[in-house]
Amino acid sequence: MNLDINTLFLVTIYVEAILGLLLLFAWAQNTAITAVAWWGFAHLLRAASVTLFGLYGSVSNIISIDLANAILFTSFALTWTGARLFDHRKPQFVLLFAGAALWLVACRIPGFTDSFDLRLLLSSGIITAYTWAAAFEFWRGRSEPLVSRWPAIFMLFAHGALYLLRTPLGDLLPWLTRNNPLLESVWLSVLSFEALLFTIAIAFILLAMAKERAEYRHKTAAMIDPLTGISNRRAFLQEGEEHFGRQVSDPRPTAVMLLDLDNFKSINDHYGHAVGDRVLEIFAKIASSCLRRIDLFGRLGGEEFGALLHDTTRDRALVVAEQIRSAFAAATREVDGRPIAGTVSIGIVVAGDTMLDLSALLAQADHALYRAKHAGRNRIEIASIELILDRAKRGAADSQRVPSARPGTKSAA
C-alpha cells in the first residue's frame, strides 16, 4: 500500500498530538517528574510544526517553512531540556531558543534563502545537535540504574545520525547519491517512516523511564534512612545476608563493625534534637567517606550504625575504624557553634575462613562494642572468644545479684 504525502502528514499530526496528550496525562498522574510534561509539549509542538508544513502552497513560506521549522527546532529543544530536568539539571533557556533564533536569522539572508542545500544542512544540523544533546544528558545520568535509559540513548543518537545523512553529507555515500532518482525516492521514504516510528518509540521509552524512576524511588525510599541518606536497618541486614550468601562460593575475610555514638542522649537533652540530627548527619558523612564503595554502611537505629567491609583483614579494619573515630571527634568539637565534642565507640569482628551468618557476626561485634563502652567509650575493640566469655560471665554475675535484693528495694543497674 502506498501512502501519499498528505496521508503521511495527517498520520504524523495525529500521532504527535496523541503522544503529547498521553505524556501530559502521565505527568498529571505524577507531577514530581516534570520532565514528562516537557516531553509532552515537545510532541504537541511537533504536531503544530507538521500542520504548518502541510499548509505549504496555501500560505506564505514565512509561515509554512520558516515558522514551521522554528517550532520544530524548539520541540527538539524541549526534549533536550526535559532530559536535563530528568536528571535534576537546570534548563538553559538561551540554548532552548537558540536553534529557532539561528534559523529565523539565517532565513533573512538572501544567499541562504536561495540555497536548498544550505537550508537543509542547517535545519538537520540543529535537530541533530538537540537530539545528540538529549542523548548526552541521559548518558551523563547513567549512574542511576534505569534499564530504559540505554535504549533512549541509542535511539536519540541514531535518529540524530540519520538526520545528518539527509544533508549534502549524504552524497559522500555512493548508495545515497542524488544521481539515482529511484534510490533517492526510497531513501526519502525510509527517512519519513523512520521519523514517524522514532517519535512513537521515543515517547513510550520516555514514559517507561519515568515509570521506572518512580518505582526505583519508591523502592529506595523503603531502604534508605531519610535523615542520613544511607541504608536503613532493613536494607543493611538484607544486603549483608546477600553478601554472606555469596561468600559460600567465594570466601573472603569480612569485617563487621557496630558503631555507637557516645552519650548521644545527653546531646539531645542539652542542645535539642535538631543538633542531635546534625551530629548524626556528620557521622554518617564521615564514616561513608572512610569506607569504600564496595563496603556496606547503614543506620541500624537511633545512634547505632553498622558497617560491613568486604575482603578486609583485621589490621585494615582497625585502620578504617580509627579513621572514623578520630575524624568524627575532630569534626564535632564544635557543631553549629556548640561545643559538642562527640565521640564514637566501635566494636569489630573479622570473619576469616569460618562461615558465619550476619546475625552471628553482629552479635560478636556487639560484645566488642560492650567492652568499648565499659572501658570508657571513644575507643575500638575487636571481638574474641575471651571477650565473649567475659560478657557471659558478667551476665551470669548480674543475674545472681538480682535475687539478693531485699523485698521492696530496687537493684542497682
Across 284-311, average pLDDT: 94
Rounded CA-CA distance 149/208 in Å is 9
Please give the helix or strand (H or E) that residue 49 lies within, else none: helix 35-54
Residues 251 and 365 in one domain: yes
Residues 257 and 174 in one domain: no
The pLDDT of residue 392: 52
Output the DSSP codes for 154-195: HHHHHHHHHHHHTSGGGGGSGGG-TT-HHHHHHHHHHHHHHH
> Could you give the 3-state DSSP secondary structure of residue 78?
helix
The pLDDT of residue 395: 58
- Report CA torsion sign: 58, 60, 62, 66: positive
Q: How confident is the model at residue 195 (pLDDT cuts 50, 70, 90)?
A: confident
Residues 9 and 74 in one domain: yes
Rounded CA-CA distance 109/19 in Å is 36
Rounded CA-CA distance 297/288 in Å is 7
Report the chain's C-alpha Rg in angstroms.
32
Tell me the one-letter amino acid at 12: T
The enclosing domain of 376 has a CATH number of 3.30.70.270
Does any domain span residue 413?
no
Does any domain span residue 409?
no
Residues 33 and 178 in one domain: yes
pLDDT tens by residue, 259-274: 999 999 999 999 999 9
Domain boundary among 197, 220, 243: 220
Answer whether 50's CB lies under 8 Å from 16's CB: yes
Residues 297 and 327 in one domain: yes
Number of domains in the chain: 2
Does any domain span residue 395?
no
Residues 23 and 122 in one domain: yes
Q: How confident is the model at residue 156 (pLDDT cuts 50, 70, 90)?
A: very high
pLDDT tens by residue, 112-153: 888 888 888 899 899 999 999 999 999 999 988 899 999 999
Residues 321 and 214 in one domain: no
Report how far Cα 281 is from the mean position of its chain's Cα atoms.
21
Residues 244 and 361 in one domain: yes
Residues 190 and 314 in one domain: no
The pLDDT of residue 215: 86
Does any domain span residue 11?
yes
> Minimum mean pLDDT among 10-14, 328-332, 376-380, 400-404: which range?
400-404
Average pLDDT in the chain: 85
Residues 90 and 147 in one domain: yes
Query: Which residue's entry shows cell 502541510?
Result: 54
Q: What residue numbers bound the domain in which 269 lies?
A: 233-384
The pLDDT of residue 275: 94
Residues 69 and 146 in one domain: yes
- Report CA torsion sign: 151, 157, 158, 160: positive
Does any domain span residue 54?
yes
Does any domain span residue 156?
yes
pTM of the model: 0.65
Query: Which residue's entry shows cell 567509650?
Result: 377
Residues 333 and 192 in one domain: no
The enclosing domain of 177 has a CATH number of 1.20.1070
Q: How confident is the model at residue 176 (pLDDT cuts 50, 70, 90)?
A: very low
Query: Which residue's entry shows cell 554502611?
Result: 297
Does any domain span residue 398?
no
